[in-house]
């Protein structure tokens, strides 16, 4: 199937990203603009209003949590029967233009899931904080010990075939979302791959790695998720 024949859904979880959401939406390449879903996770700064003015569908994810927002976006987009889901953050740290490479790799290499890796050389200096780099290193190596597949990153920018995503039966409602997807993909022997994507300093302060509390909670949840699905699942 050619890229031009595919229906895509772009899912953007967002919480108080009024400063950046327009940059993200406006830079999504034309082939992927048909269905853009901003999953508003309780913003109080008008993020959803800006997204609507720019033509995105806005879904209210009332339960706080990154995974909750992603699940709300999927539930809305599913009725349009997309072939591919693309996930990226609303803080403008990802480069939306890299969607062409993500989907291209998915099709050309016949993969089910492609992770946009920030650690393969595409991150600008200071964009990935030390705690994020360490967390990625630890989580990916724990998965390698269990499944003998070494991811380089838990990057949120990713493309996944719809039928593969539905098979994964995603459950996590907060910090464990990305690692749940990656570990379940290995458990189910999906065809996975990575490509290097560019990554810049986000606009605003991260809700996770930008605070000590967020970093600790995310780390605990990621390790718990690896244990649940990698050892006991």
The yes-or-no verdict on residue 212 having pLDDT over 80 is: no
Q: Per-residue confidence at 63, pLDDT binned at 50, 70, 90?
A: very high
Q: To 5 degrees, how large is the angle CA 109–CA 112–CA 115?
A: 85
pTM of the model: 0.92
What pLDDT is attached to residue 5? 79
What pLDDT is attached to residue 232? 58
Question: What does the DSSP assignment read for 58-118?
Answer: EEE--S-SHHHHHHHHHHHHGGG--SEEEE--SSS-B-GGGHHHHHHHHHHTT-SEEEEES
Domains along the chain with CATH numbers? 3-232 (3.90.550.10)
More confident residue, 156 or 213: 156
Instruction: Please give the Cα distance from 18 to 52 (Å, whole number).
Output: 12
The yes-or-no verdict on residue 233 having pLDDT over 80 is: no
Q: Per residue in 153-177, is it b (16+ CB within 10 Å) or e — as a string?
A: bbbbbbbbbbebbeebebebbbbbb
What pLDDT is attached to residue 231? 66
What pLDDT is attached to residue 213? 63
- For the residues 201-227, what does the mean pLDDT come to? 72
Q: 3-state class of 128 per DSSP? A: coil
What pLDDT is attached to residue 226? 85
């Amino acid at each position: 199937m050619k890229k031009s024949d595919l229906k895509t859904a772009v899912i953007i979880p967002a919480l108080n990203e009024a400063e950046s959401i327009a940059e993200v939406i406006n830079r999504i390449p034309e082939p992927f603009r048909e269905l853009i879903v901003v999953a508003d996770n309780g913003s109080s700064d008008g993020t959803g209003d800006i997204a609507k003015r720019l033509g995105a569908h806005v879904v209210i994810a009332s339960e706080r949590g990154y995974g909750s927002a992603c699940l709300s976006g999927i539930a809305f987009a599913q009725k349009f029967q997309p072939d591919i889901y693309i996930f990226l953050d609303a803080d403008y740290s990802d480069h939306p233009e890299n969607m062409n490479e993500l989907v291209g790799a998915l099709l050309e290499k016949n993969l089910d899931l492609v992770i946009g890796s920030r650690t393969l050389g595409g991150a600008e200096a200071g964009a990935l904080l030390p705690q994020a780099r360490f967390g990625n290193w630890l989580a990916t190596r724990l998965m390698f010990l269990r499944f003998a597949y070494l991811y380089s990153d838990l990057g949120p920018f990713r493309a996944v075939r719809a039928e593969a995503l539905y098979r994964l039966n995603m459950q996590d409602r907060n910090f464990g979302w990305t690692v749940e997807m990656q570990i379940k993909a290995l458990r189910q022997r999906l065809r996975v791959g990575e490509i290097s994507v560019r990554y810049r300093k986000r606009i605003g302060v991260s809700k996770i790695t930008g605070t000590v509390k967020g970093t600790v909670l995310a780390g605990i949840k990621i390790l718990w998720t690896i244990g649940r699905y990698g050892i006991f699942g």
